[in-house]
Amino acid sequence: MTSASPQGNSTSPDKNRATAAALLPLVGGAGNITSIAHCMTRLRLGIKDRSLVQDDALKALPAVMGVVEDDTYQIVLGPGTVARVTPVFEELVEEERGAAPGPAPAPEPAPGSPSAPTTTADELAAQGAAIKARRKAANATPFKLFLRRIANIFVPLIPALIGCGIIAGINGLLTNLGWLPTLVPALTAIASGFMALIAVFVGYNTAKEFGGTPILGGAVAAIIVFPGVANITAFGQKLSPGQGGVLGALGAAVLAVYIEKWCRRWVPESLDVLVTPTLTVLLTGLVTIFGLMYAAGEVSAAIGTAANWLLAHGGALAGFVLGGLFLPLVMLGLHQALIPIHTTLIEQQTYTVLLPILAMAGAGQVGAAIAVYLRLPRNGSIRTTIKSALPAGFLGVGEPLIYGVSLPLGRPFITACVGGAFGGAFVGLLNQLGTAVGSTAIGPSGWALFPLLKGNHDLAATAVVYAIGLLAGYLVGFLATYFFGFSKQMLTDLNADADAARSPVAGGTGTGSAAAGGPSTAKEPASV
């Protein structure tokens, strides 16, 4: 049985309910769940008792592409599917809690579930578990925890960015073709409304993430986009609505949280409902208007200038470094620092030139996986994992291939990075030559990025450059892995047991692979 494509049949309510119903007992039942959320590709669960979760049985479910243990327990279902399964899962949790509160006992693994993977899969699983343990320990630093918080602020905005980005692309196409001119203004309003107020949503999410009152975070961030700030002079110049953008909103909301907490500590309870919100909005508002907007505006402008300068002068070299290092950045959890940079570029220029280059890392990963498939003709376990995970890889969901194949094997992870570097070098070179390739939203990559492409030329030219970059990533990732991804001893060991052709997993990413050690999200936008 092969895993479902991220988009396959996800529109069926019965299938979504069946998936949710299958997941619930395998995570220990409703009583074992403390929180439920989802991002672009993952169902994120707060787990009370980790011992009640059945990893192998979860990864054996056809809809599950992998599991990730980080600050939450994350089940990779793929884009589209996760947004449909999550509300049904929440309903089932509420129903079970109402009927029988408390943790449900973990059921026995279903017959035929992958409780005893083959030797090869065991070896990969052991390596993947070790990688996961080291990575989890390394990501517990204050800096990386801070980056994770920043990612938590922006990841919920991704669906709106994608939807508005695609509508903006359709509107641009209609404008260029001269079709439906009466519809163009309406589509412009639909596509631009969210971006005009994105600072408010960032402020709301920031306050929520840092433990303040979300609506107060939104209120102080709204000052930044209020048209009336154009009448205010700060640092010798008139302010402009939107100055400082998402960075200013983030800073204002964090300040509001600290002021609110200070007020809660010192203001008498009888006056709290009046004094605390007033002081929070007033003090934060004054600091925002006469300090943060100007400072954040300068930083935002510097980010845009630096990104454009880097690709205009660095070209192929900049693209090579960015495309080649993105997978290691994901492994270290440092990719989360790029999310506000992407958002700032989209806010300033309507697209981010960095994302298409970083997406080349996923192309290198796909090429490397195909090479592994061909080099291990007798290893049915790994080949089954690759066959089930490749469709998702082409669509930009890279966790199953990374943690189920390349990273545990070692060398193929490095050669996948080489493929991404060459794809990034091509896109960077074309940018230096005058053809910028950007994305109007963050989150998707691979083929899923085509509807979101935008640049300084027409859509066809932009799409061709991006497509050739993908092909370069596929080809170099394949060749590098095929010729340099294995030592002779590795090939001998991994092809040794013909009985290993039995797959240990019915779909998903291959139990016994290291899929359980997936990256934290985000990135979010972490899928590549």
DSSP letter string, 247-311 = HHHHHHHHHHHHHHHHHHHHS-HHHHHHHHHHHHHHHHHHHIIIIIHHHHHHHHHHHHHHHHHII
263 is catalytic: no
Assign 523 to helix, strand or coil: coil
Which of 16-25, 172-181, 363-372 is modeled with the greatest confidence? 363-372
Q: What average pLDDT is seen over the chain?
A: 84
What per-residue confidence (pLDDT) applies to 12? 65
Q: What is the DSSP letter of 105?
A: P
Question: Over the stretch 77-90, which tens digit does the pLDDT of each residue have?
Answer: 877 788 889 889 99
Distant-in-sequence, close-in-space partners of 327: CB < 8 Å, separation ≥ 6: 361, 364, 365, 402, 413, 416, 417, 420, 528
At 277, which amino acid appears? P
The one catalytic residue among 39, 164, 263, 417: 39
CA distance 35 to 44: 8
Residue 226 has pLDDT above 80, yes or no: yes
* 195 Cα distance to chain centroid: 19
pTM of the predicted protein model: 0.75
Pick one of 3.50.50.60, 3.30.450.80, 3.30.1360.60, 3.40.50.720 as the CATH number of 1-105.
3.30.1360.60
**Residue 496 banded pLDDT, cuts 50, 70, 90:** confident
Q: Are 508 and 62 in contact (CB under 8 A)?
A: yes
Which range is most confident: 83-97, 393-407, 414-428?
A: 414-428
Give, rounded to a whole angstrom, the gap between the first and last alpha carbons of the chain: 25
pLDDT-derived band at 126, boundaries 50, 70, 90: low
The lowest-confidence range among 253-262, 331-340, 407-416, 453-462 is: 331-340
Give the list of residues 6+ apart from residue 330 with CB closer than 8 angstroms, or none.
402, 519, 526, 528
Evaluate the CA torsion angle 378, 380, 382, 386 in order and state its sign: positive
How large is the angle between the packed helices 142-154 and 339-349, nearest 10 degrees? 40
Q: Which of 115-124, 275-284, 514-523 has the highest mean pLDDT?
A: 275-284
Residues of the chain with CATH 3.30.1360.60: 1-105
